[in-house]
Structure 1
C-alpha cells in the first residue's frame, strides 16, 4: 500500500504541475503560442517561408554590359523564377557570343570596338486577385548609333496557377481588335500631337497612319489592384513615330465592347463595361 500511495502521489504532483494556476491562467496567449511552436518543431512542421525578394543581377565586362531584374511578386512563383533563369542564361550567352564576334571583326578591320549592352527589367503592371501582369523593357545596344528598346508581357493566372497570354483571353483577336482599334488610334494621335506640337494629319508618311495595336505589346493594367481596368498598348520606337519620339504607351480602358471580346471564364478579372 505504501508503494501504491507513493505512485499515486507522484502522479498527482505531475498533474498539479500541468494544471493551470492562479499565476498561469489557462488562456495565457504567450504560453499557448510557445507551446504551439514547440509542438510544430517536435512534429517536424517547417516554418513559414520568408517573403520573396526582388531579384537583380548585373555584370560588366570589356565585351558586354548585362543586367536582368524582376520584382518580388514574380520571385514568389517558382515557375516564373525557372522561366527567368532560363531566359537569363540564353540571352547572356547569345549576347556575349555576338559581342565577342563583333570585337574580333573590329580588331581585324582596324576600327574601335564598342562594348554591347543587354538590360532587361520586369515590372508589375497589374497585381489583382485573378491576374499578375508583368511588363518587361529590354534595352539592346550592339555598337551602332544608338540602342533599341523592346517590350514583352507575362500574364499569370493566379487561381489556375499557370501562365497564359492576353490573346488567350480573347474570344478572337479579330473581335478584340475591333473593340479597341478606334479608341487606340484616337489616343495614339493625341499623344503624337502632344509630342509634335501639331495635330496629326493622315498622309503618305507612315508616322501619320494608325498602326495595328495587335502587333504591339498588350499590357493588362490596374489602378486599384482589384481588376484589370485597361489594356495598355506599348509601342516601341520607330513603330508609331521617329526614334526621337521614343515609346508610346496608349491606355485603352475596359468597356462593354472589350468585355464582350473577352472569354466568359476570364471576365471576372476585368472591371467596367456591361456583361
Structure 2
C-alpha cells in the first residue's frame, strides 16, 4: 500500500473511532433518567427561609410578630406559622380601619395594637412544641391576651392534637392533676386564695384538660419531656389581676393515658420553670 493510501486508511479509522465514541456518549445520555422535580423543587421561597419577624404600622393599627430561633430547625412548621400569623395580623389591621372609619373618626385616640409572640416549649426526639401568645388592645382598661400551643411531630411533619397524644376514653385523671396544679399555683401566689374545683361551686372552676392548650415540659432526662405545661389565660381560673397561669403536670400523672407511639417521649420529672 502506498503512503497516500495508508494515510487515507488511517484517517478513516480515526474518524470511525471518534464517531463511535460520540454515539456511545449520546446513547448513555439518552439512557440516563431525566432529572425529576424532587423535594427541592417543591420548596417555595417561604418554606426555604420564612422571616423571623413581621411588623406593620398604620394610623389605625400597629401589629408585630416575633418567632424563636429554635423554629428554624422545622422549616415546614416555620413557613406555616409565619403565614398564619401574618394573615391574622393583617386581618386585625383591616378590622381596625373598618371599626374606626365606621365610628366616624376618633381623633386623639391611639392606634389599636396586636402582638403575636411565638416562644419555644420543650423538645424531644419526636416532638417539638411552641407557645403562641396573642396580646391585643382595642381600647378599654387593659389589653386582652390569649394562648395557643403547637405540638409538632418532626418526622411526620404534622401537628399533634390531644386526640393524637392520648388514648380515647376517660381523661379524668389528667383533669384532676391539672386542677391540683392550678390550686397549688394559686396558693403560691396568695396563701389565702380560695380552692377551686372541677364542678365549680365557687365563682371560678378548674378547666378540663382537653380544653386547655399545652406544650411539653422540659424533663430531668435528656431528650424526654417531664410532663406538660398547660397555658391558662386571664379570667379562666381567677380575676384578671391574677394574670395568666402556666402550670405543669408531671408525666407520671398521665403516663397511662398516652398512646404507645408517643409514650416513650416522656420520662423523669419536669424541671422547675423559670
Q: 1:264 to 1:243 in 2, by over 3 A?
A: same
- Partners of 1:140 and 1:149 within 8 A in 2: yes
User: Cα offset for 1:237?
Assistant: 0.3
Change (3 A) 1:204 1:269: closer
Aligned partner of 1:124 in structure 2 is 120
* 1:72-91 mapped onto 2 (5 Å cutoff): 72-91=69-88
User: 2:121, 2:215 within 8 Å by CA — same for their partners in 1?
Assistant: yes
Identify the match of residue 240 of structure 1 among 226, 233, 237: 237
Q: How does 1:155-174 map to 2 (within 5 A)?
A: 155-172=151-168, 174=169
Closer, same or farther: CA 145–106 of 1 in aligned 2, 3 Å: farther
Q: Give the structure 2 partner of residue 102 of structure 1.
A: 99
The alignment status of 1:178 with 2:178, answered yes or no, reads no
Contact 2:118–2:131 under 8 Å retained in 1:
yes
- Runs ≥4 residues deviating over 6 A: none
CA distance in 2, matches of 1:98, 1:233: 31
Q: Which residue of 2 aligns with 1:190?
A: 184
Cα offset, 1:220, TM superposition? 1.6
Gaps of 5+ in 1: 1-51
TM (normalized to structure 1)?
A: 0.71
Aligned residue for 1:104, secondary structure, equals helix
Aligned residues of 1:149 and 1:237 also touching (Cα < 8 A): yes
Deviations 1:29-66 (CA, angstroms, capped at 9, x unpaired): xxxxxxxxxxxxxxxxxxxxxxx898122233321111
Q: Name the counterpart of 1:139.
A: 135
- Cα-Cα RMSD: 2.7
Contact 1:106 1:112 in 2 (8 A): no
Q: Which residues of 2 match residues 211-222 of structure 1 at below 5 A?
A: 211-222=207-218
- 1:206 partnered with 2:203: yes
Q: Tell me, which stretches of 5 or more residues in structure 2 are unaligned?
A: 1-48, 270-274
TM-score (norm 2): 0.71
Q: Which residue among 109, 128, 148 is the counterpart of 2:144?
A: 148
Structure 2 Cα separation of the partners of residues 201 and 264 of structure 1: 35
Q: Is the 8 A contact 1:149 1:236 kept in 2?
A: yes
Match of 1:4 in 2: none
Q: Specify whether residues 81 and 187 from structure 1 end up closer, same or farther in structure 2 by C-alpha distance, changes over 3 A only.
A: closer
Length, aligned pairs only: 219
Structure 1 position 141, deviation (Å): 1.2
Give SS of 1:107's match: coil
Tell me the residue number matched to 2:57: 60
Deviation of the 1:204 alpha carbon = 4.5
The alpha carbon displacement at 1:160 in A equals: 2.6
